[in-house]
Structure 1
C-alpha cells in the first residue's frame, strides 16, 4: 500500500500579485456580464418578450398599464423576432398559423417600427364584414351575449359602453365593447383575407385602428409581421397618480390581474 505525504497548505504556493488577482477578477466579471447578456438576448429573441399596453383598443381584455409576455416561438420566427428587426430574411422559419380568436402582437405593414396588439378575426380565405355594428364571418352572423354597461376610462374621461361576449366560429368566447352601431367601422365592405395574411380587430370595437381600415397602418397583417401570441399578464398598474407619490404605488397595482392568462 502506497502512502502519499500531503504538503502543508502553504507549501509550494506562489504568491499572486494583487494587480494580477484584480485583473483576473475583472476578466471573470466581464465574462459573467457577457454570458448574462447572451442569455437575455436569447430569451428575448427565441422565447418570450415583455410588452406594455399604452392604449385602450383591447379593453376590456387588456387595460392600459398591463404588462404582458408574448410567446416568441409559437408561430415560428421572422426577422421581426430579432432585436432591432434586421431585414436578414423574409417569411417565417418553423412557421405556423394562429387560431381564430387569439390575441397577437404584430408590426403593422404601414408602420413596422411600432408594436400593435389585436385579436385574430379572419384567417386566410375567410370573409369578414361589419354590418349595423354586428360581425359576420364567412357570411354568418357571429352570436353575442349581452353583459351590461361598462365604463371605459382608457381614453381619459369616462365613456359608458355596452359589453358583450362574442362567440367566434371555433368556439372562442371573448368580451368586446360597443359604443355605437353607426359609422364606417360598423358598416364595412366585405373583406376577403388573402393567403398568408390575417384580419385583426380590437376588442374595444369603436376605439380601435385595425384591419377594417385598409388605408391605415394595419390593413391585412402578413404572417411575417406577427411577433407572437400574448399569453400572460404578469403585472398591471393603474397610473392615476404622479410618479413621485410613492405612497400611492401599492394602491395602483391591480393585484387581481397579476399572472392572468389572456383569453
Structure 2
C-alpha cells in the first residue's frame, strides 16, 4: 500500500505541475471529487481493515506481556522491566500512507461539500466588471442560490431562486467550459434587448442611467465616465466611453443561435432563446461578453457572486456588492 500511495501522490504532483505550467487545463472540481473518493476508500479501509488489525496486534502484545509476567511470578521474579505502553503506541500508530490519505478524508470531504453545494471562492482576473469588481478581488459565489447542482457534471437537481436581471453571475464560458467567467445578467429567456449608443433597452424599456462622478482606473491611470444603471430595484455602476461606437470591436461570432441577433453600426439587438441568458460586463467598452460570443446556457451556470472577502491590494474592497 505504501508503494501504491506513493504512485498516487506522484500522479497528483505530475498533474498539478502540468496544470501550473500550462501544459494542460486542469479541472479542480473533478480533481477534488477524485481526491474525495480516493481518501474515502483509504478511510474505509483504515476503519474496517487496518485499524482492527493494529488493535488485534496491540491486544496480542498485551496478552503476551501478561503471560510473561505470570510466568516470571511463578518463578519468584516480581521486578519486571516493561515498555508495554511504548510498544503498544508504535503498533497502533498509522503509517505515513494512511496518515496522508485516510487522515485527510474529513478535511477534503468538508471542502468538497462546501465548494460543490454552498460557496466557492473566485479571483477576479480582468477589468471587465470594473467598477463593481476590480482586478485582484477575491469573491464568494453562492452555489445554491439558483438551485442545487451535482458536482462535476453541473446537473441541476433542485430548483431555488430564478436568475434575475442585474445578478452578477459566474458561469462556464460557453466557448471553453473549462474556464469560468463572471458577468452581469441583463436579459432573460424570451427577452429582446438592444444595446446601441452605450444604452441598454430590454423589451422596449430603456434601463435608467444616472451620471456619476468619473471613475479613476488605476491600471490605465485615467478617468472613465461612470453611470448608475438600474434593473428594477437593482442599481449598479457601469463605465462607458461615449467617444466609442457601441459596436466597437464587436463581431458576430455566434456558433449557436446565430439568427437570434442582428448587428448594426450602432450596436446589437438580440432575442434570448429559451434556457439561455444574455450577460455583459459593467466595464461596457472593455468586456468581451454575450455581444461577442453569444448566450449563456442554463447548464453552464455556476452561481451568484455576492461578496468580496479579500483584496490584498486594498482591504477596503471587502464587503457585499450589487
Check whether TM > 0.5. yes
- Following the alignment from structure 1 to structure 2, what is the Cα–Cα distance between the partners of residues 145 and 16? 80
Q: 2:171 aligns with which of 106, 122, 138?
A: 106
> Which structure shows the bigger proportion of residues in helix conformation?
2
Q: Which runs of 5+ in 2 are unaligned?
A: 1-62, 67-82, 249-264
TM-score using structure 2 length: 0.64
Runs of 4+ in structure 1 over 6 Å off: 12-15
Which structure carries more relative contact order (alpha carbon 8 Å, separation 6+)?
A: 1
Equivalent runs, 1:60-209 vs 2, <5 Å? 60-78=131-149, 82=151, 85=152, 87=153, 91-96=155-160, 97-153=162-218, 156-168=219-231, 170-180=232-242, 181-184=244-247, 187-209=266-288
> How big is each residue's C-alpha offset from its partner over 1:82-130, in whole Å with a ceiling of 9 and x where there is no partner?
2xx3x4x7x5221342111010100111111111000110011111111
SS where residue 163 of structure 2 aligns?
A: coil
Structure 1 range deviating more: 46-55 or 179-188 = 179-188
Distance 1:237 1:188, change over 3 A: same
What's the secondary structure of 2:93's corresponding residue?
A: helix
TM-score normalized by the length of structure 1: 0.77
Q: Deviations over 1:1-29 (max 9, x none)?
A: xxxxxxxxxxx997746354235332784
Q: Is the 2:149–2:158 Cα contact (8 Å) retained in structure 1?
A: no
Q: Which whole-Å CA distance do the structure 2 matches of 1:198 and 1:93 have between them?
A: 20
TM-superposition CA deviations, 1:183-228 (whole Å, max 9, x none)? 4158323101111111101000000011111xx3xx1001110100
8 Å contact from structure 1 (residues 49, 70) kept in 2: yes
- The question of 1:262 aligning with 2:321 is answered yes
Shift of 1:160: 2.1
Aligned length: 222
Deviation of 1:179 after TM superposition, in Å, equals: 1.5
Q: Which has the larger radius of gyration?
A: 2
Do 1:78 and 1:225's aligned partners in 2 also have CA atoms closer than 8 Å?
no
